[in-house]
Chains A and B, each alone.
Chain A
Amino acid sequence: MRPLRDAQLGAFTFFASALPHDVCGSNGLPLTPNSIKILGRFQILKTFTHPRLCQYVDISRGKHERLVVVAEHYESSLSDFQRQGKTASPEMVLKVAYEVLEGLEFMNKHGMVHRALAPNNVLMDHKGNLKLAKFGLYYMTDRGGDVDFPIGYPSYLAPEVIAQGSFHASDPSNEEAPLPSGPKSDIWSLGVLLFEMCAGRRLLHNIEISERLKFILTLGCMDDIVTVLAEEHGCLDTIKDLPVNVLELLRKCLIFLPSKRPTPAELLGDEVFNEISCLYMPFQKPLSLFSSSLRCAHLELPEDISDLCKEDYLSERAIDEVYYLWCLAGGDLEKELTNQGIIQSKPPLCTLPKFLLEDGESFGQGRDRSFLLDDTTVTLSLCQLRNRLKDVGGEAYYPLLEEEQSSLPQSASSQDLSTTVTLPLIIRERDTEYQLTRIVLFHRLLQAYPYKRDLVWKDARVDIPPLVRGMAWAALLGIEGDIQAKYEGIDKDTPIPTDRQIEVDIPRCHQYDELLSSPQGHVKFRRVLKAWVVSHPDLVYWQGLDSLCAPFLYLNFNNEALAYACMSAFIPKYLYNFFLKDNSHVIQEYLTVFSQMIAFHDPELSNHLNQIGFIPDLYAIPWFLTMFTHVFPLHKIFHLWDTLLLGNSSFPFCIGVAILQQLRDRLLANGFNECILLFSDLPEIDIERCVHESIKLFSWTPKSATYRQHAQPPKTTAVTDGNGFGRPGTYYFSDYQDMPRTDLSREPLALSELKAELSPRISAEDLIDLCELSLAGGGKRTRAGRPKIVAVDVRSAEDFNRGHLSGSVNLPYSSAFGPDGELVQCPGTGVLHSFRGRVIVVISHFASHLVKVNFPRVCMLDGGIIKMRSTGLLTVPSPQI
């Protein structure tokens, strides 16, 4: 989006028309409120960036179908000019015409029509450039179908618009939707506007609306509309004196029959503009992050580099950023509008109906005047925000990325900010200064993507500012290339057998959310899902894919291609082969590993759940199949996934265990039936705690413990990727599968065998690594944040003495366990108890016994001691003398 510069933020409000009571849609579900329809349609307008159009920033829904639209705004408009009652110079008229036409042409190219063109909607910035305001009202209200008021102003309506009739939702006799207006009706409005400028007075100002409209309709019989209008307003001389090209322009605009009237594009190329068209450069759309052409191709640095850093740093930020910060700094749209008297509400007690019929139709309720349209735009004052940010130095706005310093800029306020980092995420997301620095930082990092990919990773570990989350996720998922072209190349329209299921699922997926429940949201949902299904012929649509798509679609609502690309990158990473037609082996293995993880981290809970027969198959399939998107609301998913995307494919296990641990007390206290009930409607989960817990669990989990045979096979490029640009090759963030395979890696296990084991296995390789035994012998590399580990050898003492792993503890099975599997008090078990809490690697097959007596973090060496023999790491203790 463009920087704010000298623009201001403006807000105006209107009501969507209320739905008729108790009518269901064709699918039997309740109808979508009109305000949500408008909200969905509005979104695309945010992407319209053009120098002649006021940038749309946001829309929000209030009570009782109220909508508030926020957009770029300027205080001065052509109506100021009109109020002065002067005639405009011919140059001015041509300039206005040309600039308005530029805006109209851009809109038409995107299939939009202004319809509400009037002097008060043509704003002027400080340099006198024109900007069209409210250009999206006609589009977002579905050509006026979703609101009660007519769109447009009576004097400026084109004759064909009048002839096609007003559509009034509350009027039951007119059931059909109004006919859409074409681009040419704006030309008429422009003609009237220009005429008024030339004549210096307003058209038919003092006549009643119906008479005014009638007059416009009768103009059809006139030969020379301009002359007739001039005569009517007593300014024939003024009009006659106009230069030929201006008069010609007026004539061309005010042609009665649409077929003879030019379109904005045609008029723009007309010779009347010959003099001034050379002054204007055609608009170049800025390139997006993911495109095939070089982003810096047209980059030009100014002569004086300091021009880039203006004094007013905030004004150089994009409009949507400023608005976001304005909201964080305590901005309240409804309050601003109420203060200006635009929102006037009556006490609800005074507007109650008197009587309601059985079908819900109400009577005896007067029409509330506060529901009338007042489309005055109110300027949102940025004082509060500027005041809040007055201490933030320039360094925060222009952080240096190349230095190895901490990611936060060093400024006067950096002290606060470094303490802010330690605050809970919820608070950080509400902190204006903090968000400002984070947004600026991420903005720059993302602009430098993929070059700065590792920095994005590093900073994403702190947190991801909500405003840039969509892009940041895309960066974390490693999206690259011309995704738009790829997406367009997928056939999303031809019917496929999955359509029916998709159609059923979408109206049930995260519908509490305004965006996703809007018809636009449904359309986009359908297209992204179909694109995925069509482009992955080996995989199928399973219910749950819709939930998985939801966060990506929400974040990239205006960029389906990116949503699709993110989803396509996410699924192989975390849900490899989950969407196979027969996915039972993948899921079964996954769930078995999950239950081993429960046993590993929380043996007591695991024992209880196993005892009552509450196995993961009963509750965890929707968790993992949708990566928790089916169980949590979007705002929680975002926080969860912010971390998930940083972890590897086994991180979800830890999330699962963390969720169980939050419900631990209730699970332990209850039997099977209560547990089923509890999970049928999952209670509130504290997501921040869940994230912290899962990180903790993750760091205690040996990598090979979550080995899965059906996980994604290693990418061939993985090795080089780890060293180069790719993700930082730290212990936690690379996948076990991505490591080069050796003899000491884990061997695939048959499912039945895997299921029989209570605790996970650990590979010899991992054990060596974690015990810091090295094949080379000496060189101990100490890495922080590794799980503490102890190896327990349960062979008999003789075997142990014949050769064992250095540092391992011998606890012969026969001496440690009693006949019923309980631990016997003996010196060996004492040692074991002292290691409680560490990862205990049992070398042999008795790990499950330890789990049964509630020993946490027990795992088993894959392949047993035999595996270790080949390594030459077994030592024989020197006989003690």
Chain B
Amino acid sequence: MKKNKAKASGAVERDLVFGFKAGQHQCELKVPLQFPVKDNVSDLHGRLMLLHKIPCFVEDELRSSLSSFVETNSIRDYDREAELALSRLSSGDTDINGLTNAWAKAYAETSLEHARPEEASWDEDFAEVYHELIHSPASETLLNLEHNYCLSIAELIGERDMELKQLQERQASEMTSVMQELGNTLSDQDVNTVASQHFEARQVLENRWASELKHMSEIQKKEYQEWVIKLHRDLQRASNSSKINEEIMMQPSQMEDSEAGAPLYEEQPLLEESFTIHLGAQLKTMHNLRLLRADVLDFCKHGRHGRGGAKLRRLQTALSLYSSSLCGLVLLVDNRVNSYSGIKRDFATVAVECTDFHFPRVEEQLEVVQQVALYARAQRSSKQRENPEVKRNGAEDKNKHLERNPSNIVPGEFYISRHSNLSEVHVVFHLCVDDHVRLGNITARDPAIMGLRNLLKVCCTHDITTITIPLLLAHSMSEEMTIPWCLKRAELVFKCVKGFMMEMVSWDGGISRTVQFLVPKTISDEMFYQLSNMLPQIFRVSSPLTLTSKH
């Protein structure tokens, strides 16, 4: 039994020599065996018997000598490896401090017994308290309180809008008079001065209102959180005291009479179609799909469903806030993390219409995202410097682009914001897309599509069971979006989402989900119906349950 050759990972080949007597003959069997032995020893035995035509009378003998051979040699290998490690340590090849610290770190990071005690987190405690209260009789009161706070914000916003409007009117009339005088008494210079004065005045006013709003919502948030904590404490202390009930009841319920005069949200002809689908070849999982024509921000604004509906929505959203069935929305944004322009600005406006009592304001969340993005970038580039051979396709030119402005994000990346004050959504995925998606020829490997995939993966890992995706990867119609363009795009997104959903089954074990495909509000009825015809051709719609009497 000699060592033949040692392979990289300690794999060694050794010869088993087995001698036996058959009649007059002295036979010897020599078999090279790979160590560590991977197969089952009895299989090995069976194969040896078969291949070398070993007579059956030595079967048991061979079995025992084979197993003891394997056993002793494996033990020897273990010992050798172990002592090698120990000798490395005593010779100083391995740093004893580094080694033991790594162990200590491993224990501290992974097991509860050795981990550092957790610092109390206000967010999570509040989450727990709120979740408990909202699933108790106090939920009504909570909602009313939230609503009242919302009303005062709305009042403030109304005042702001009024004042802004007045300012605008005043400025407009001033400007007209200035323009009339242009060329006579006033020069271009003067007009510019006036214009910039106007602009400044407007800025000042806007800022004043913004800070007032911020101030007010901060106060509201503080009050609200204190009140929730107090209510919870009281509820815990007294199980059935009438005082609590009074306290719950004390909050006047203004919800019913308040909005009577307020202008109702103008009802768009909302088109919507639902499908139940089955995914999978053998084991099928059921999911719900919905195709709807609406504005993306409709999912954020309150009051889309009339007064009664709004309250129900609000309750629904509040109930599921800390649950494991969250609702998400995909918002397509450009490569800058802020809320200054376009859809980002519109979204931010909607997001401050009510105070968010649970999460930081949108601006603050975005600031954190910017920090995280910078950190991620730094992390990634340091890693790439470490292993320069690992190159991702197309990473080169992107990196060049990024070096110019590291705080910008690239298409396919997305950031996530959390909200408690939107009507139907808890989580907003801000997916970065560029002008490229306007082209008709994007493929399944497009960053935006890959972004969708990652996004759905996050949905899996964080129990987001309802997700709304802009089907055409655009929030509004533009001229290049012809009928063929739309059909092509819809097909691509449908097919990719189907693929991702099939993949998701393996990630989360096939939890039933709802995916809503959103098309812009301005799309034609005809186009909508074409898309809704396309959907069942791509997804397998579950067979309708026909109720017939038994034959």
Contact = CB atoms under 8 A, between A and B. Distances in A.
Given A160-B82, A347-B323, A512-B282, A358 B450 contact: yes
B543 A683 contact: yes
B271 interface: no
Interface in B55-85: 74-75, 78-83, 85
Interface stretch (A313-321, A490-498, A709-717): A490-498
A354 B454 CA distance: 13
A168 B127 contact: no
B418 A352 contact: yes
Contacts of A684: 278, 284, 542-543
A252 interface: no
A81 B86 CA distance: 33
A184 interface: yes
Given A633-B284, A683-B540, A372 B106 contact: no
A354 B372 contact: yes
B375 A491 contact: no
B326 A349 contact: yes
Given A217-B89, A632-B282, A354 B426 contact: no
B90 interface: yes
Interface stretch (B151-159, B306-314, B456-464): B456-464
A491 B82 contact: no
B78 A180 contact: yes
A213 B82 contact: no
B414 interface: yes
B427 interface: yes
Contacts of A354: 368-369, 372, 415-416
A285 interface: no
B75 A182 contact: yes
Looking at B46, B101, B127, B323, the one whose CB has the most chain A CB atoms below 10 A away is B46
Interface in A343-399: 346-364, 367, 369, 372-375
A357 B376 contact: yes
Interface stretch (A255-263, A571-579, A768-776, A812-820): A255-263
Given A210-B103, A363-B375, A182 B78 contact: yes
B503 interface: yes
Given A347-B322, A355-B416, A510 B107 contact: no
B457 A360 contact: yes
A217 B95 CA distance: 12
A681 B540 contact: yes
A864 interface: no
Contacts of B75: 182-184, 263
Contacts of B281: 681
B506 interface: yes
Q: Is the interface of B mostly helix, strand, loop or mixed?
A: helix
A347 B426 CA distance: 12
Interface string B102-116: 111111111111110
A666 interface: yes
B413 A358 contact: yes
B520 interface: no
Contact of B447 (A21, A30, A358): A358
Nearest to B510: A512
A691 B533 CA distance: 35
Contacts of A220: 86, 90
B240 to A, nearest CB: 25
Contacts of B113: 373-374
Given A258-B82, A633-B282, A349 B418 contact: yes
A363 B369 CA distance: 9
Given A209-B104, A512-B280, A374 B99 contact: no
A538 B80 CA distance: 48
A374 B112 contact: yes
Interface stretch (B37-45, B141-149, B160-168, B477-485): B37-45
A159 interface: yes
A472 interface: no
A258 B416 contact: no
Contact of B111 (A179, A210, A373): A373
Contacts of B416: 352-356
A489 interface: yes
Contacts of A488: 42-43, 45-46
A160 B85 contact: yes
B111 A372 contact: yes
Given A64-B461, A489-B49, A633-B282, A363 B372 contact: yes
Nearest to A180: B78
B234 to A, nearest CB: 23
B259 to A, nearest CB: 29
Contacts of B427: 349, 352
A801 B438 CA distance: 85
Nearest to A489: B46
Contact of A348 (B108, B451, B462): B462
A162 interface: yes
Nearest to A677: B537
Interface string B369-390: 1001101100110000000000
Contacts of B74: 182
Looking at B118, B392, B463, the one whose CB has the most chain A CB atoms below 10 A away is B463
Contacts of B464: 348
B462 A162 contact: no
Contacts of A740: none
B96 to A, nearest CB: 6
Contact of B505 (A150, A350, A358, A512): A512
Interface in A150-175: 150, 154, 159-160, 162-166, 168, 170-171
Looking at B80, B99, B450, B464, the one whose CB has the most chain A CB atoms below 10 A away is B99
B94 A163 contact: yes
B170 to A, nearest CB: 43
Contacts of A275: none
B283 A512 contact: yes
Contacts of B379: 363
Given A364-B372, A633-B283, A490 B46 contact: yes
Interface string B354-378: 0000000000000011001101100
Interface string B442-475: 0000010011011101100111100000000000
B508 interface: yes
B268 interface: no
Contacts of A213: 99-100, 103-104
B525 to A, nearest CB: 27
A165 B99 contact: yes
Given A349-B418, A352-B458, A357-B413, A148 B110 contact: yes
A434 to B, nearest CB: 26
A30 B461 CA distance: 17
Looking at A211, A220, A354, A491, the one whose CB has the most chain B CB atoms below 10 A away is A354
27 contacts: A33-B506, A160-B85, A164-B81, A165-B85, A168-B105, A182-B78, A183-B78, A209-B104, A209-B114, A214-B97, A217-B96, A347-B124, A347-B324, A349-B427, A350-B124, A352-B458, A354-B415, A355-B369, A358-B410, A358-B412, A359-B392, A363-B375, A367-B109, A488-B42, A488-B46, A512-B510, A633-B284
Given A347-B323, A373-B110, 11 more contacts: A168-B105, A182-B82, A210-B101, A259-B83, A355-B415, A358-B451, A375-B111, A491-B46, A491-B50, A632-B282, A681-B540
Interface of A: 21, 30, 33, 61, 63-64, 148-150, 154, 159-160, 162-166, 168, 170-171, 179-185, 208-211, 213-214, 217, 220, 256-259, 263, 346-364, 367, 369, 372-375, 488-494, 510-513, 630-634, 665-666, 681, 683-684
Interface of B: 36, 39, 42-43, 45-47, 49-51, 74-75, 78-83, 85-86, 88-90, 94, 96-97, 99-115, 118, 123-124, 127, 131, 278, 280-284, 321-324, 326, 368-369, 372-373, 375-376, 379-380, 392, 409-416, 418, 426-427, 447, 450-451, 453-455, 457-458, 461-464, 503, 505-510, 540, 542-543, 546
Closest 8 CB pairs of A and B: A182-B78, A160-B82, A149-B110, A347-B322, A358-B412, A633-B283, A364-B372, A488-B46
